[in-house]
Amino acid sequence: MKFNISNKAPIPINYRTGQAIPMPIARAIDEYRKVYLSLYGVNPIEPRYENGYIYLDNATSGVALAIFKDRIKQLKFRKG
């Protein structure tokens, strides 16, 4: 028995490639760089994104996006 299925739906596009960072996380990392630079006058060590967590400096444990945004708020408050 042969079936011919045709729904004429377009094939979904895979926008994320292998090591692509999701846009909200990329924006948060850019904001962190700007706030850190304005507060301390030096660029931070590159934050990295792995398996859904953001790793800062040479830390062994990562943080989620919500906690990372809270840290950005704390740096902004410290800056004044």
- Residue 75, CA distances (Å) to 13, 28, 36, 58, 72 in order: 38, 13, 7, 19, 5
Kindly state whether residue 14 falls inside one of the protein's structural domains.
no
Q: What is the extent of the structural domain holding 68?
A: 23-79
Indicate the number of domains in the chain. Answer: 1
Kindly state whether residue 15 falls inside one of the protein's structural domains.
no
Instruction: Provide the mean pLDDT of the chain.
Output: 84
Length of the chain: 80
Q: What is the pLDDT of residues 32-64, one digit of tens each?
A: 999 999 999 998 888 888 888 999 877 778 899
Q: What is the mean pLDDT of residues 72-78?
A: 92
Kindly state whether residue 64 falls inside one of the protein's structural domains.
yes
Percent with pLDDT over 70 in the chain? 82
Question: Residue 70 pLDDT > 70, yes or no?
Answer: yes
Global confidence as pTM: 0.71
Q: Which residues contact 28 (CB under 8 A, 6 or more apart)?
A: 54, 65, 68, 69, 72
Q: Name 53's bridge partners.
A: 50
